[in-house]
Amino acid sequence: MTYYHQELLRIKNHCYGNERQLRAVIKTRHFIDHNYDQAINLDLLSGTNHTSKYHLLRLFKRYYGQTPLQYLTGKRLIRARYLLKQGRTVTETCFEVGFESLASFSLLFRNRFGVNPAKFKKEQFSISMGSGVC
């Protein structure tokens, strides 16, 4: 067994001994993955796990390094980028991935990708036209 393998097993025993907690956060992430386009909030997530919302918030952050809301937003934004590349309008994309406000969608998209959704879509169009010419 390599040094790295030994260290993995040591860390696993030290940090990941609570199977019940792990199952709860993994279940929460899967729920978000399959329902990111729905109206998800902490109350809903904690209800599906029969646990307190603040406890779930702490656990999710501890195991995934971000809050459920941060994870949900990231998931929606990655999907939004894909849909814009596929040619969807900004408005269609915004609501299809679960955001309720165009303004907040635009702001979050810009913070994440450095460009607002309309400009991103325009750039994708230019790229596809450019590759078509060549």
The answer to the question of residue 3 lying near another protein (CB under 8 A) is: yes
The answer to the question of residue 13 lying near another protein (CB under 8 A) is: no
Which of 37, 44, 61, 64: binder of another protein (CB under 8 A)? 64
Based on the number of CB atoms within 10 Å of its own CB, is 128 exposed (0-12), middle (13-18) or buried (19 or more)? exposed
> 109, 72, 69, 114: which is closest to 93 by C-alpha?
109
114-118: long-range contacts (C-beta < 8 A, 24 or more apart)?
117/80, 117/84, 117/90, 117/93, 118/90
Nearest-approach distance from CB 28 to another protein, in angstroms: 10
Nearest-approach distance from CB 45 to another protein, in angstroms: 15
Q: Which is nearer to another protein, 62 or 122 (CB)?
A: 62
The answer to the question of residue 4 lying near another protein (CB under 8 A) is: yes
- The Cα 60–Cα 38 span in angstroms is 19
Which residues are at the interface with another protein (CB under 8 A)?
Answer: 2-5, 8, 11-12, 15-16, 22, 25-26, 29, 63-64
